C-alpha cells in the first residue's frame, strides 16, 4: 500500500492548468497548516495530481486524479466531509430548490436558457409524470428532475453516524488528548483485509463501535511520527496507527490554527474523518450517467435536469460528486434518448450548465461564486418558503442568525 502526500507548495506549482474541468476558483491546497493527508490507493490508481478542496478552513475533499490499471482516466476519492447547507422539507422542496438554483445560474449569465413560468406539475406526484411544467416562449414542456449521486460514498458517510453519536455520549473530557486534532479512521475490508478500506461498522455491531470509541479515547498521538512541513516523504510512512481487535485503525494529526471547528468538534474537541477510498473511472461514471437518463427517458418528460452536487434530503452537499461528474463532461460517447428532447446537467458549486443530449456542450458558463482556494457557501437566492427562519442559525455554520448572515443576501 502506498502513502502519497502533496504539500501546499507542490500543489500550487501544479495549479489547475491541465485539468480544465475543475473550477478555476478552487486550487490544490495540499496539507498546508500541518494537516497530514495519506492517500491509500495502492496499485489501483497511478496518480498524477492530488486535489484537496476546502470548505472555509476545513478540507472537504481529498482525492487523486490519474489512470486506473487499464489506463482509463479515473478519480480516487480518499475522504470527503459533506458541506452543510440546509435540509429541504421533502422531495418536492428539494426538487424546487434544485430547479431554482438552475434558473438563477442560467439567468445570471444571460445565455439563452431563461425559463418562463414554472409550476409543480400535478402529475409530478404520480408515477410517470414530469416533476414540473415550464413555459419557454410559446411552448409548455415537462421538466423532470434527478440527481447524480455517488451512492456508495453516501452510504459510507451515513454509517459513521452511530460512531459519532457514541463519541458524543462519552463527552468532551473523555477525548482531552485529542483536542485540536483530526482523527482519521480506517475500517477492515472483508474481501481485502490487508487494504483497510472497508465500510464503517453498521449500527448492529455495537461492540465493535464501542471498542473503537475506547481506542480513540485512549489514543496518545506520538509527536515524533506526525508529519510536518518540509519532512521527506520517506520519513513519513510510519504514522503511528492504532488498531482494534477487529482491524479498525486510528491515526491522529494536528489541525491548523486557522481551522474552523465543525459542530462535531465543538462538542467533542476533535474532527473525525473516514478514510474510505472509492475509485471512479470514466467508463463507470459514463454508465452511471447513462443509467440516470434511461430511467427518465419517458413520454411527457421533455427535458431532464440532472443536478450534481446539490444538497440531499439531509441538507448535505457531497463535493466528490462534482469531481467525478467532471470526468464525463468532455466524453465523446453519445447519450441516446427516445422520448426526451433535451438533457441538461447543472453543477451546483461550479454554476455551469452542460447539455449532454442531443449534443455534448457547455451552454452556461458558471458565475464566479467563490474565491480562489476554497469553496464558498452559495447565495440563498431561492423561494422564500425554503429559507430558514430569520432568527434560526444560518446553515453555513457561522453561529450567527440567518438574518444577520446569508439572510442579508435575500
DSSP labels, 302-365: -EEEEEES---TTSEE-HHHHHHHHHHHT--SPP--SS-SEEEEEETTT--EEEEESS-EEEEP
Cell numbers placing 117: 413560468
pLDDT score recorded for residue 182: 84
Q: Which residues contact 169 (CB under 8 A, 6 or more apart)?
A: none
pLDDT score recorded for residue 9: 35
C-alpha 147/C-alpha 403 separation (Å) is: 30
113 vs 401 pLDDT, higher one: 401
Cell numbers placing 213: 470509541
Q: What is the dihedral of CA 241, 34, 84, 212, to 10 degrees?
A: 20
pLDDT score recorded for residue 363: 86
Residue 91: its H or E element: helix 91-109
What confidence tens digit (pLDDT) does each residue in 160-193 have? 999 999 999 999 999 999 998 888 898 988 776 5
C-alpha 384/C-alpha 78 separation (Å) is: 37
C-alpha 81/C-alpha 274 separation (Å) is: 9
Confidence of residue 292 (pLDDT cuts 50, 70, 90): very high
C-alpha 398/C-alpha 410 separation (Å) is: 17
Cell numbers placing 390: 430569520
Confidence of residue 274 (pLDDT cuts 50, 70, 90): confident
Q: What are the boundaries of each domain within the chain? A: 91-150+281-409
Average of pLDDT values for 103-107?
77
pLDDT score recorded for residue 27: 28
What confidence tens digit (pLDDT) does each residue in 29-80 have? 333 333 334 455 656 888 788 777 776 566 678 888 889 989 999 999 988 8
Cell numbers placing 237: 510512512
pLDDT score recorded for residue 28: 31
Average of pLDDT values for 321-330?
90
Average of pLDDT values for 200-210?
94
231 pLDDT above the threshold of 60: no
pLDDT score recorded for residue 324: 93
What confidence tens digit (pLDDT) does each residue in 142-161 have? 999 999 999 999 998 889 99
SS (H, E, C) 156-184: HHHHCHHHHHHHHHHCHHHHHHHCCEEEE
pLDDT score recorded for residue 117: 60
Cell numbers placing 305: 435536469
Confidence of residue 404 (pLDDT cuts 50, 70, 90): confident
Cell numbers placing 316: 448535505
What confidence tens digit (pLDDT) does each residue in 217-229 have? 999 887 655 544 4
pLDDT score recorded for residue 54: 72
SS3 call for 404: helix
Confidence of residue 289 (pLDDT cuts 50, 70, 90): very high
Report which listed range, 107-111, 302-306, 365-369, is most confident: 302-306
252 pLDDT above the threshold of 80: yes
Report which listed range, 24-38, 264-278, 366-380, 383-397, is most confident: 264-278
pLDDT score recorded for residue 224: 59
What confidence tens digit (pLDDT) does each residue in 349-372 have? 778 889 999 999 888 887 544 433
Amino acid at each position: 500500500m502506498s502513502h502519497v502526500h502533496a504539500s501546499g507548495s507542490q500543489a500550487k506549482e501544479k495549479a489547475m492548468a491541465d485539468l480544465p474541468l475543475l473550477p478555476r476558483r478552487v486550487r490544490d491546497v495540499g496539507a498546508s497548516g500541518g494537516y497530514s493527508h495519506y492517500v491509500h490507493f495502492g496499485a489501483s490508481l497511478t496518480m498524477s495530481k492530488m486535489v484537496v478542496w476546502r470548505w472555509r478552513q476545513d478540507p472537504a475533499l481529498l482525492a487523486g486524479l490519474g489512470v486506473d490499471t487499464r489506463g482509463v482516466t479515473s478519480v480516487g476519492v480518499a475522504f470527503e466531509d459533506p458541506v452543510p447547507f440546509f435540509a429541504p422539507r421533502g422531495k418536492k422542496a428539494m426538487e424546487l430548490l434544485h430547479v431554482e438554483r438552475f434558473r438563477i445560474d442560467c439567468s445570471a449569465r444571460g445565455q439563452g436558457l431563461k425559463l418562463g413560468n414554472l409550476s409543480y406539475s400535478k402529475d409530478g406526484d404520480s408515477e410517470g409524470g414530469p416533476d414540473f411544467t415550464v413555459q419557454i416562449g410559446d411552448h409548455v414542456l415537462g421538466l423532470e428532475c434527478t440527481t447524480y449521486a455517488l451512492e456508495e460514498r453516501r452510504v459510507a458517510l451515513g454509517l459513521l453516524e452511530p460512531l459519532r453519536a457514541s463519541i458524543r455520549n462519552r463527552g468532551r473530557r473523555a477525548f482531552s488528548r485529542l483536542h485540536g486534532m483530526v482523527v482519521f479512521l480506517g475500517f477492515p475490508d472483508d474481501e481485502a483485509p490487508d487494504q483497510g478500506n472497508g465500510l464503517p461498522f453498521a449500527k448492529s455491531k455495537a461492540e465493535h463501535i464501542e471498542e473503537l470509541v475506547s481506542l480513540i479515547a485512549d489514543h496518545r498521538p506520538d509527536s515524533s511520527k506526525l508529519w510536518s512541513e518540509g519532512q521527506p516523504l520517506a520519513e513519513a510512512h510510519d504514522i503511528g496507527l492504532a488498531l482494534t481487535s477487529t482491524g479498525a485503525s486510528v491515526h491522529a494529526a494536528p489541525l491548523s490554527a486557522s481551522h474552523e471547528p465543525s459542530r462535531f468538534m465543538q462538542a467533542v474537541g476533535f474532527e473525525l474523518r473516514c478514510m474510505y477510498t472509492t475509485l471512479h473511472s470514466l467508463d463507470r461514471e459514463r454508465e452511471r450517467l447513462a443509467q440516470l437518463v434511461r430511467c427518465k427517458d419517458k413520454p411527457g418528460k421533455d427535458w431532464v435536469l440532472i443536478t450534481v452536487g446539490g444538497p440531499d434530503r439531509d441538507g448535505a452537499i457531497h463535493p466528490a460528486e462534482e469531481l467525478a461528474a467532471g470526468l464525463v463532461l468532455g466524453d465523446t460517447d453519445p447519450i441516446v434518448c427516445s422520448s426526451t428532447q433535451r438533457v441538461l446537467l447543472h453543477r451546483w458549486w461550479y454554476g455551469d450548465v452542460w447539455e449532454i443530449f442531443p449534443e455534448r456542450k457547455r451552454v452556461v458558463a458558471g458565475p464566479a461564486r467563490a474565491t480562489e482556494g476554497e469553496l464558498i457557501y452559495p447565495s440563498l437566492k431561492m423561494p422564500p418558503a425554503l429559507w430558514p427562519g430569520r432568527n434560526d442559525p444560518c446553515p453555513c455554520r457561522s453561529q450567527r442568525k440567518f438574518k444577520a448572515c446569508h439572510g442579508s443576501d435575500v
